Every structure is written in C-alpha cells, then in structure tokens.
Amino acid sequence: MKNIMEMDPIEALELLNILVNDQIFAARERLIVLLNEPPSAENRRELETEFREFYCGYESLAFFLETYEEDPLKGLPRHESLAKKLKRQREYILANRKTTLEERMSRRAGAYMNSDPMPEKKISELPTDEYRKLLRMLVSLELFSVQEPFLALLEQNAPLTELDVAFREFFVAYELLELALEAYHYDPDEGLELRPEVIERLEQSIADIEAGGKTYSLEEVFEELEGE
C-alpha cells in the first residue's frame, strides 16, 4: 500500500471511505448493546455472532493496511501533541509485538507458521465473564474514538494533507487492535456449517490440485480480479 499523499486523490478518498465505514464499526455498536444486557446463554450466543462480524471487519481492515510500509510518524512535526502520542503508542506496539507481518498474515489466512506457535488463549473457550471482559476491552480501543472525527473530515471534504494525518492516527489505532488480539486464537469459521455445494466445490478443488491442476498465487488472483 502506497503513501496516501502519493496516491491519486480519487483513489485515496475511495480507500479512506472504505476504511472508516468498515463493518467492524457497526459490529462494535451491536456488541456494546449486547454487553449492556445481563449475561445468559442466549446473550453469549448473540455476542459470539456479533464478535464474528467484528473479527471479520478486523480482517478486512488488515487486508488494506497490513502492507502499509510508510512510517506513520514520518513527516509529523515533533512538537505536536499528536506526534508525541503516536510515538508513545508505536514504541509500545513495537516493544510488545511478538509476531512478524508474515505470521500475522498467515494467521488471518487461517494457518500458523512453524515460527508462530498457537496462542494459549482460545476465545471460543473463554468463560463468560472473561469473554465479556475481553469484548469490553476491544470495543473501548482507540480505533473507535478516532473513526468518528476521521469520518467527519471525509464528509467535510477536508484537504488530503489533513486526511493523511488522520489516516496515520487511524493506522496506529488499528495496530493497537491487532496487538490486543495477538495473544488469542480465534477462527471465525469455527462452528459454522458448510453448505453441501460448498463442500463439494472444496473437495473438487483439492482433487484437481492433487491431480496436478494449476494453482494461483495471490498476485495472479488480484491481476485476474483487476481485469474483470
């Protein structure tokens, strides 16, 4: 992902609108409502459904942001309070992060690299009180407080220079969410029942590959999609 200021302005605005309107924000609001209800078996099931949406929103954010290589602190005036805040947050992230980018990308694809042992905490097996405590922590993270002013800037057609600064703050807040989830194992597909036709297609795909059929890299898939 390129620096926002190096992108075509229309392309940059389209990307920023996708980010601030991601499904994670609507799922977060629904989680807050459920967390304000008393614990029960039904409440737990509803929380698990909404958390799946929340996590899938996190994955969609990661799809756009995980390859962003620009230093979010680069170019920010040193004396600004925002620059100081982001510097503290980035230092905390880098000091506490235990996974590489490749390991995080592999996790989101549903697998663990040999260098990345599975976390001991499995979200689906947490006791209800611990599960609710985790969700309360997640919905209170800074990503959700920076989204609203960022969205307002977009609606006001703010200059790209202002949006670039807001994006940097948004990106660091995303990294804090990513770090908060790092200690937990979660599979959003766990417990979901596949339709027979989906299972049939998967089995056919596996059979084709085992028979020597062609496989495609991510780059080839993206090229194919862009050509449609």
Q: How far are the Cα atoms of 48, 51, 135, 186 from residue 45, in angstroms, in the given order?
A: 5, 10, 14, 16
Lookup: tokens for 16: 């920023």
What pLDDT is stored for residue 67 in this prediction? 82
pTM: 0.81
Q: What is the 3-state secondary structure (H, E, C) of 147-203?
A: HHHHHHHHHCCCCHHHHHHHHHHHHHHHHHHHHHHCCEECCCCCCCCCCHHHHHHHH
The pLDDT value given to residue 76: 84
Cβ proximity of 139 and 28 under 8 Å: yes
Least Cα distance to 73 among 196, 8, 168, 144 occurs for 168
- Confidence at residue 78, expressed as pLDDT on a 0 to 100 scale: 76
Secondary element (H or E) of residue 33: helix 23-35
Residue 226, CA distances (Å) to 6, 96, 220, 221, 223 in order: 20, 37, 10, 9, 5
Q: Could you state, in chain order, the average pLDDT of each consecutive group of 10 residues for the chain (228 residues)?
A: 83 93 97 97 96 96 88 84 94 96 90 91 96 98 97 95 94 97 90 54 57 53 46
